A and B are shown apart, each in its own frame.
Chain A
Amino acid sequence: MDAARLNEIVGRYPAREGKILGILEQVQREFGYLPKNILKDLATRLEVPLSELYSLATFYSFFTLAPLGEHVVTVCMGTACHVKGAPELVDTLKRLLNVEVDEATKDGKFLLTTEDNHFTITSARCFGACSMAPVLRVDNKIFGYVTPNRIPAILKRFGWEERDHQAT
């Protein structure tokens, strides 16, 4: 990232309220993660220790320290979605995209990227779209009333090809 771009982002936050998190959120949105060199640069600009930025990046679920795939599939894990079958959606996604949850992350949060970096699947607490539960989001597009059978069609809209990824 060039310095001008980072200057522009930092410049968007004249007030100190919400400044640091706001800047990190913008970086996360533009890059899909928080690159280490940018965090180092920001630490200098904002005059905060790098360890503090690391602490924020790992405390808040919005941030990731590793790059995400081209498309991010986020399954809502809210109560209504859970009651209406969100766990089955996660299972289906894992199967279709051929990614596995390792032992250490099998509880709660997960962040899984396919080998070709095309998709990342993850979970969110609640999108507040509970009326159409279960809900998942691909990038910025929300899909409601999702069933496992509908997932292949949704993924295809984002460039997924059945034969390439199908696990047997």
Chain B
Amino acid sequence: MGLATCGIAAGGDRVYTALEAAIRERGLDVRLAKVGCIGYCREEPLVNIQIPGKPLVILHRVTEEDTAAILDAVADGDVPREKALCQIDTWDPLVGDPLTFGIGFKDIPRYEEIPYFAPQKKIVLRDAGLTNPEDIEEYIAVGGYRALHKALTQMTPEAVIDEVIASGLRGRGGAGFPTGMKWNFTKKEKSLQKYIICNADEGDPGAYMNRNEMESDPHMILEGMLIGAYAIGAREGIIYVRSEYPLAIERLTKAMDEARAHGLLGKDIFGSGFSFELTLAEGAGAFVCGEETALIASIEGKTGRPRPRPPFPAQKGLWGMPTNINNVETWTNIPVIIQKGGGWFAGIGAEKNSGTKVYSLVGEVDRVGLVEVPLGTPIQTLVYDIGNGGIDGREIKAVQTGGPSGGCIPASLFDTPMDYEHLTAVGSIMGSGGVVVMDETTSMVDTARFFIGFTNEESCGKCVPCREGLKHMLMILDKILSGKATQSDLDLLKELSGIIKKTSLCGLGQTAPNPVLTTLKYFKNEYDAYLKGAK
């Protein structure tokens, strides 16, 4: 039973309870397990049926009323065909031995044939929806912690960093800085104490990849952090999770406890002499805490306000000690890189953009969900091939990527490859991977106002351009929306945007005007229609 936050909210918990009761009542030899989310959110609740020797079958849109039909079929060694979404006969967990489920069920479509899954390439989410995130044994069964064993017993810390550099992995939090290089900065510092941090303060509205990565495969994050700590020379790590994600916190805590019980956290791991401890810290609802220096302040129990850099966290981070911070998805990429090699990873994706990226494809698109594709995949593949275009055949107007720091990209530019450089070139950013689709019914001016309203609210108030500038942008946008603005207001809005971008202290202010600048550039006509006398 797929039981991540959306699966539960879609009714998965009720189906689970119903199945549990019915299995007990009938005295069936059926094991009911929780798994994470495979990412096809629109089709939830999802139930995987695994009968020995037969393919794994994914059932979709399952309700409590289907319980009897499911168990009737399973008791006969079958599955309820009318509920079947697809079947998987073999699965490659990449770091472990391929799983062979079996063959049969000729009339059920194969996983590869489902348009939603066909263009996807699962690396980060390879276990999501297939394994039980609350059971370390399942993670180990699909090759988990092998990469850690390899790193600790066969590789020097330098060799680990070299492998990460060779992979070309770039930070998945948004900025896209090469991960191996970043690790080296902290490694080179001379200090008795160093820290590593997992930034799980997924703050971009419309983005939930990290939530699923934590809820569906928490051990992959732990393993990535352990390898990173070994390479960097850190003995302590902190996972900073936003409090809005209670299930992620629960599963990470469970994973940490299990890892500790298995000797994978603590002293002398694998007898290598390497020791590492991990703590979980909860954020308390401040978007700006995604910024590194603000995040560190928050862990230290202060208000999360950024400070100027340098010194960078690599020099003076948590409690003044060298600190390396990476996003959840960056950490999850580490085990596979160590196990399969940097060269293998570098072969996936586009030039200077190796690997995959998980996107949350949401908004006015037919098939919503979490999508993992190689970097460099064009926007249109996401929106049309995977997402099946607009709802009820409505025409899609734009996508918004990168959250409040990103921009709106018009449909005419949907051949743009989604990589760090190309998205920046069209005025948006990769960000953490939120892709919000907007159709003909969405007002782009209202969308721009939504984001400025958001960043204005979340501005920490430390530097003037962000604190005062965004407030004035909001006032101008309200004036435009009320039909009282003139061309000079639009000019002022543009000028102000440029100043805020250039003079703000941190990434929040430096990127906050992007939604306005891109909508002004690509949807100027919508602004013009609001101007005084336009009607």
Chain A interface (Cβ < 8 Å from any Cβ of B): 15-22, 24-25, 48, 55-56, 59-63, 77-84, 107-109, 124-133, 135, 140, 142-144
Decide if A125 touches B285 in the complex (CB within 8 Å): yes
Interface status of B284 (Cβ within 8 A of chain A): yes
Decide if B450 touches A130 in the complex (CB within 8 Å): no
With contacts A18-B279, A126-B207 known, is A83 near B301, CB below 8 A?
Answer: no
Decide if A62 touches B362 in the complex (CB within 8 Å): no
A-B pairs, top 9 by smallest CB distance, nearest first, are A18-B281, A131-B41, A20-B301, A128-B208, A79-B206, A78-B205, A60-B284, A61-B285, A126-B205
* A53 vs B458: C-alpha distance when bound (angstroms): 19
Decide if A130 touches B203 in the complex (CB within 8 Å): no
CB distance from A163 to the nearest CB of B (A): 30
* A129 vs B282: C-alpha distance when bound (angstroms): 19
* A91 vs B110: C-alpha distance when bound (angstroms): 45
Decide if A131 touches B6 in the complex (CB within 8 Å): yes
Decide if A130 touches B281 in the complex (CB within 8 Å): no
Decide if B208 touches A83 in the complex (CB within 8 Å): no
Q: Which residues of A contact B208 (CB under 8 A)?
A: 126, 128-131
8 extra interchain contacts, Cβ-Cβ under 8 A, other than A56-B302, A79-B436?
A55-B303, A56-B303, A62-B285, A83-B363, A83-B442, A107-B456, A128-B208, A129-B5
| Closest chain B residue to A79, Cβ basis | B206
With contacts A17-B238, A124-B244, A132-B9 known, is A77 near B281, CB below 8 A?
Answer: no
| Closest chain A residue to B5, Cβ basis | A129
Interface status of B10 (Cβ within 8 A of chain A): yes
Q: Which residues of B contact A80 (CB under 8 A)?
A: 205-206, 362-363, 436
* A79 vs B41: C-alpha distance when bound (angstroms): 17
Q: Which residues of B contact A135 (CB under 8 A)?
A: 9
What range describes how many residues of B lie at the interface?
A: 35 or more
| Closest chain A residue to B474, Cβ basis | A107
Q: Which of A17, A108, A126, A132 is close to B457, meaning CB atoms less than 8 Å apart?
A: A108
Decide if A144 touches B6 in the complex (CB within 8 Å): yes
CB distance from B113 to the nearest CB of A (A): 22
CB-defined interface of B1-28 with A at 8 Å, one 1/0 digit per residue?
0000110111000000000000000000
CB distance from A151 to the nearest CB of B (A): 16
Chain B interface (Cβ < 8 Å from any Cβ of A): 5-6, 8-10, 41-42, 44, 202-208, 210-211, 238, 240, 243-246, 279-287, 298-304, 318, 360, 362-364, 368-370, 400, 403, 434, 436, 438, 442, 447, 450-451, 453-454, 456-458, 460, 474
Decide if A132 touches B284 in the complex (CB within 8 Å): no
With contacts A17-B281, A125-B287, A144-B6 known, is A84 near B363, CB below 8 A?
Answer: yes
Decide if A131 touches B42 in the complex (CB within 8 Å): yes
Decide if A130 touches B362 in the complex (CB within 8 Å): yes
Decide if B286 touches A61 in the complex (CB within 8 Å): yes
CB distance from A89 to the nearest CB of B (A): 15
Decide if B244 touches A18 in the complex (CB within 8 Å): no
CB distance from A10 to the nearest CB of B (A): 13
| Closest chain B residue to A135, Cβ basis | B9
CB distance from B40 to the nearest CB of A (A): 9
Decide if B203 touches A125 in the complex (CB within 8 Å): yes
Q: Which residues of A contact B442 (CB under 8 A)?
A: 83
Decide if A108 touches B453 in the complex (CB within 8 Å): yes
Q: Which residues of B contact A78 (CB under 8 A)?
A: 205-206
* A21 vs B287: C-alpha distance when bound (angstroms): 15
* A84 vs B363: C-alpha distance when bound (angstroms): 7
Which of B9, B246, B286 gathers most chain A CB within 10 Å?
B9
Q: Which residues of A contact B246 (CB under 8 A)?
A: 140
Decide if A79 touches B205 in the complex (CB within 8 Å): yes
Q: Which of A108, A131, A142 is close to B369, meaning CB atoms less than 8 Å apart?
A: A131
| Closest chain A residue to B303, Cβ basis | A59
Which of A20, A21, A62, A132 gathers most chain B CB within 10 Å?
A21
Decide if A17 touches B447 in the complex (CB within 8 Å): no
Q: Which residues of B contact A56 (CB under 8 A)?
A: 284, 301-303
Decide if B285 touches A79 in the complex (CB within 8 Å): no
Q: Which residues of A contact B41 (CB under 8 A)?
A: 131-132
Which of B300, B362, B450 gathers most chain A CB within 10 Å?
B362
Q: Which residues of B contact A133 (CB under 8 A)?
A: 362-363
| Closest chain A residue to B8, Cβ basis | A142
Q: Which residues of A contact B243 (CB under 8 A)?
A: 25, 62
| Closest chain A residue to B209, Cβ basis | A128
Decide if B205 touches A18 in the complex (CB within 8 Å): no
| Closest chain A residue to B369, Cβ basis | A131
Decide if A79 touches B282 in the complex (CB within 8 Å): no
Q: Which residues of B contact A19 (CB under 8 A)?
A: 301
